[in-house]
Amino acid sequence: MKHLRLGILSLVLVCLCAGTLALTSCGKKEKSVSPMTVATQEGVPPAEQQIFVPSTAPITEERTFYSFESDLNGWEIPMWTQGKTEYVATDVEVSSDVATEGTSSMKAAVGFPGGIWAAGLIEIEHYINLSHYRVISADIYLPPDAPEGLKAKLILTVGNNWKFVEMSRSIPLIPGEWSTITANIEPGSYDWKRVVPDEEFAADVRKIAIRIESNRKPAYSGPVYIDNIRCGR
């Protein structure tokens, strides 16, 4: 009788242990783990954003948008610069003095006083899609008697919020020579200050501007010539 009771008790214990093992290996019920949770636990990152890299192929085709052969095509000194001592462009006109394409260029009169940062800014408001191009360029000429130290950069205003985007560096101008300033407008370009272009950057250009700069030292009053504003691909 005693052996029968021990057998029954052993059978009950075996059944209880079997049931417990079916639920857990350590006495607690496991939570089900979904495939998504497993991926997160294993450190699988979300889909990475596409990384853009500008092409290194040579520019083989160019289109000139502004050649200034007959008129200014809408280029002007903006009203918001007037009355500001640091903005020194006073007049702009078509001139036949010098040119890199055709027989004329845009002539801007500037008066850099020296001793302060100053700029002559000329711009055009023109809605234009440049997404088919890789670079934007302009030719700038300083007369031989101009001082060394003046620089220039391109500035774009883009998108519905009219974002003001300038080149990340200014290009030195050489007196007596034509200097070309070029900026890459492809997605991924690092030619722009605090902005890396995406696929929409060049698709909605609202303004194009050229800014001639004197960083305190050069003093100069006279003309600056701009010509052959173009895009290449």
Q: Please, which pLDDT band fits residue 201 given cuts at 50, 70 and 90? A: very high
Distances (CA, A) of 89 to 26, 110, 138, 208, 223: 82, 4, 18, 16, 9
Asked if residue 155 is part of any domain, the answer here is: yes
80 and 27 in a common domain: no
Residue 206 has pLDDT above 80, yes or no: yes
pLDDT digits (tens, 9 = 90+) for 128-161: 999 999 999 999 999 999 999 999 999 999 999 9
Asked if residue 51 is part of any domain, the answer here is: no
| Dihedral of alpha carbons 142, 143, 144, 150, sign | negative
pLDDT digits (tens, 9 = 90+) for 111-130: 999 999 999 999 999 999 99
For 32, the domain range is: 2-41
143 and 30 in a common domain: no
Asked if residue 52 is part of any domain, the answer here is: no
User: What's the pLDDT score for residue 54?
Assistant: 84
70 and 36 in a common domain: no
pLDDT digits (tens, 9 = 90+) for 87-113: 999 999 999 999 999 999 999 999 999
Q: Residue 85: how many CB atoms within 10 A of its CB?
A: 8
For the chain, how far is it from start to end, CA to CA, in angstroms?
100
194 and 161 in a common domain: yes
Question: Residue 159, CB half-sphere, CA atoms under 13 Å: how many?
Answer: 10
Number of structural domains in the chain:
2
Report how many helices (DSSP H) and strands (DSSP E) the chain contains, helices first.
Answer: 2, 11
85 and 7 in a common domain: no
User: What's the pLDDT score for residue 48?
Assistant: 53
Q: What is the CATH number of the domain that holds 83?
A: 2.60.120.260
**CA 168: distance to chain centroid?**
9
Measure the CA–CA gap between 154 and 184, rounded to whole angstroms: 11
100 and 177 in a common domain: yes
DSSP states of 1-50 as a string? -HHHHHHHHHHHHHHHHHHHHHH-SSSSPPPP--HHHHHHHTTPPPPPPP
Asked if residue 47 is part of any domain, the answer here is: no
155 and 103 in a common domain: yes
Lowest mean pLDDT segment, chosen from 16-20, 151-155, 226-230: 16-20
User: What's the pLDDT score for residue 56?
Assistant: 83
111 and 7 in a common domain: no
92 and 121 in a common domain: yes
Residue 28 has pLDDT above 90, yes or no: no
User: What's the pLDDT score for residue 217?
Assistant: 87
